[in-house]
Structure 1
């Protein structure tokens, strides 16, 4: 990167970090979020999270030194920054759509959409409302929404999530990979979860559908593993069944699992406590926003949290380039996922 290019990017970053620009981009993202044409695409997001994802996309993907183009460089030189934001948004939107259609589709996202659609359609059984932030809440029909308060998992349970809560009753005679997406089971589980919530709190509550999705996923962790082999129109659960391995391949697989766990431990040991804390919170399920991390960890600005998050990502990239054995990108996907999950598990300890 030349000094000239570096200066151009520095100027853009300063503009991007200003309060006026932040306010303007939040308004822009909010308007895009509320467009009917984007409602399905962003159904799993809150506006604040979408704003953060867009900023990360600009800084980490769209406008990196290696990605500068004949179109963006002149815009940087003439300080046409709003035009850059529009180009970045178009690319971000395209990426979101491609991700939704791609083979990496996450069954967790599919579950959320199924829950939202199923509960909204069951008007005789549930009443659906919207929170102030815009995400859908539900309550059994017959309860007054106006007298109910939105449920929020207590702070002291955020790390463990719903893993210690009673599990949702299974469907008789079926495997989870099949019944988890069926209408009747989803509606029964929505009822069951609402009753669990009410037992732990006082008064009637509306429950965020995303919390119901999280509850189910906490008891069926395979939902959180991205899938690479989904085909259009196919049964999305078909490829979740365990693959048959020869004894030799199973030994190699077990060895890989053990190795990446040790490597994750080795990597995290080099991180400062604050970096571990930021990583644990930012990549929690659901992820904690930069604003909340800044408040919870006592930072003076969000840039501190963002900087530590970037250092963690860069550290993982550098570490996996030089570690012994097979590169991370060539490992079986579930092994690579376990490496990241082990990092998250180790980092969570820094919060206690």
Structure 2
């Protein structure tokens, strides 16, 4: 692993990239790195590529500023950005070999779960879904049948189950499995999976890293720049799952305010969770920061500085009341996504469809940066 840099996360974010001076920037005085829209690069007169750049799909210099920032925040050996969170996540699975075994959570991002159940298995992966947040579940599963990769999502969307990264990493080492963690909800500011023993960490950069609902992107970072990581890097280039240069620049701009947005969302989400668990219309609040939540103690160990801006509520009136509530909100916006400056509300079971483990009385809430009291009042008037 690389050594920790002697800067606070907010200092790294504010300047955009800790290694900005290494970029081949034409104007060395530019505060903001330029955007390179060129798709190709000139050869030298002797037919060489001494610049190290051949074609933009593999090595557009605009990518490197956000990648270096992610490396610094995750204390990673290397990082790469992708065209979407799904592109980043599936790159890990496609870097495996047909016949390899994978363990993944029962409750996780539905699109990736569906990909594993369909395209992943068609590719030849042997996928087992287990409750990774239960103590000892991964250890038991690995002891019963070896796996090449364990995939965690913590907190897990949309029930926000918390898996113990450090304990599971130790199990993976004992049984020769790699560990990859989707840390989208925690962000690098709250949890650092690589420091807890994970081999790879993934972010849907569309969410908190960008934070403004105007860029689709994903990111991967590694603890060791090893052969498997180089396979992922090659796969990214050959499959072409890279963002456009303007999206990369927009991602970097969004990350400059990551620490401010995450802090505000965490504080508001915790306050809303505490208020809503006392509301007579609410049957249950799912949020890692509540002492009553099953994963609270693990969250306290591995989430530093907050418990995230995501929570879910289950309503006494079931699916009918949940759908009606989402329809009546005014400040909360009815849209699918999370991690933006605007607060979003969604009846999650409607999105995931048949076979979803999500209760039909559940509303998923992505807390933005609006006034928390206004957000509470809006929910209360919508409960009916």
- Rg: which structure is higher? 1
Alignment TM-score, normalising by the size of structure 2: 0.27
The structure that is strand-richer by fraction is 2
Alignment TM-score, normalising by the size of structure 1: 0.29
The structure that is helix-richer by fraction is 1
